[in-house]
């Protein structure tokens, strides 16, 4: 166990002596597993991130709604710059865990979409990936990013991918379905990290899940059939394929903005750009080989 940082020890909820250890893996926050006389907790230190549209007061409201609906561990304390959650003994998923658990994951995501929308409080925020891409382009241009010469291309591609989208019902979406945001306690699946959760369409979450796990075209079709409970049409399949490209472009541009604006322990944002940008171009090439050129 490490020496307890002062900002952890000063939190008012602990009972008796505490110990803590850092929790690695977060790209935009600093977290610790903290143990006191009453049990284990996750203390997550985080501020608003305007360039990423992250508002922690909204995130806390989502956490409370999701915990009340049984989708995430309880938020037991929150204050300026910190949230404390009940710790659960569970496995954090990796990419290799998505395929063998897909039916359970789709059921979890579907339930989250429709149940949390009924209990979330406060202003109704929206997530639309194509707006995010355009806003990232404005931010990167203002910051004179090393990727400035690609921004018009990114916006043009995003506009065409947006035009392909089929109308979908509005639900409450997570919008950051990295494998590590799923946890499995052996009996129950949990969702964590709601920085980007808002009202939107299911298509982004489905594309996010598929693109982060490198799904094939056949797996995409299976995913849509599990979620919508009907055989997907050609238009729906194309909509998902386009949204997968948008999902990966958003992640690449997220990393470009973060390279300039964020600093998290142990995170190399330039290295993350080098991982995300080729993944986007690979997915775009797959889309174009099946559906035609994006100009």
Do 79 and 104 belong to one domain? no
Structural domain contains residue 106: yes
CA quadruple 219, 220, 224, 230: dihedral sign: negative
What is the torsional sign of CA 205, 210, 211, 213? Answer: positive
Boundary of a domain, candidates 59, 86, 113: 86
For residues 10 and 124, membership in a common domain is answered with no
Q: What pLDDT, on a 0 to 100 scale, did the predictor assign at position 264?
A: 76
Region label for 193, one of left (φ > 0), alpha (ψ between -120 and 50) or beta (otherwise): left
pLDDT of residue 23: 85
How does pLDDT run along the chain (295 residues), one tens digit per residue? 456 788 898 898 899 999 999 887 667 778 999 999 999 999 999 999 999 999 999 999 999 999 999 999 999 998 888 999 999 999 999 999 999 999 999 999 999 999 999 999 999 999 999 999 999 999 999 999 999 999 999 999 999 999 999 999 999 999 999 999 999 999 999 999 999 999 999 999 999 999 999 999 999 999 999 999 999 999 999 999 999 999 999 999 999 999 999 987 778 999 999 999 999 999 999 999 999 999 8
CATH number of the domain within which 53 lies: 3.30.200.20
* 263, 159: one domain: yes
CATH of the domain at 274: 3.90.1200.10
Domain boundary among 20, 52, 86: 86
Report yes or no on 1 lying in a domain. Answer: no
Give me the number of domains the chain comprises. Answer: 2
- Given 26, 57, 86, the domain boundary residue is 86
Q: Provide the pLDDT for residue 2.
A: 57
Look up the domain containing 50 and give its range: 6-86
> Quick one: pLDDT at residue 71?
98
User: What's this model's pTM, rounded to 2 decimal places?
Assistant: 0.94
């Amino acid at each position: 166990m490490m020496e307890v940082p002062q900002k952890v020890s000063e939190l008012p909820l602990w009972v008796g002596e505490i110990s803590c250890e850092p929790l690695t893996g977060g790209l935009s926050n600093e977290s610790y597993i903290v143990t006191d006389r009453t049990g284990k907790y996750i203390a997550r230190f985080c501020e608003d991130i305007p360039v990423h549209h992250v508002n922690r007061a909204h995130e806390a409201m989502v956490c409370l709604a999701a915990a009340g609906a049984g989708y995430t561990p309880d938020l037991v304390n929150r204050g300026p710059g910190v949230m404390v959650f009940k710790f659960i003994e569970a496995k954090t998923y990796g990419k290799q865990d998505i395929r063998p658990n897909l039916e359970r994951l789709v059921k979890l995501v579907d339930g989250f979409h429709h149940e949390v929308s009924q209990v979330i409080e406060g202003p109704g925020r929206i997530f639309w990936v194509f707006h995010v891409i355009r806003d990232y382009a404005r931010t990167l241009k203002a910051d004179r990013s090393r990727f400035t010469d690609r921004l018009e291309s990114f916006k043009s591609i995003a506009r065409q991918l947006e035009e392909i989208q089929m109308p979908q019902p509005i639900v409450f979406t997570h919008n950051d379905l990295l494998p590590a945001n799923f946890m499995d306690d052996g009996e129950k699946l949990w969702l964590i990290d709601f920085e980007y959760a808002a009202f939107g369409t299911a298509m982004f979450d489905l594309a996010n899940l598929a693109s982060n796990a490198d799904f094939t075209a056949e797996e995409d079709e299976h995913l849509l059939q599990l979620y919508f409970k009907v055989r997907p049409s050609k238009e729906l399949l194309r909509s998902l394929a386009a949204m997968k490209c948008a999902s990966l472009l958003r992640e690449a541009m997220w990393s470009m903005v973060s390279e300039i604006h964020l600093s998290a322990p142990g995170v190399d944002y330039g290295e993350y750009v080098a991982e995300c940008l080729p993944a986007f171009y690979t997915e775009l090439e797959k889309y174009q080989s099946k559906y035609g050129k994006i100009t």
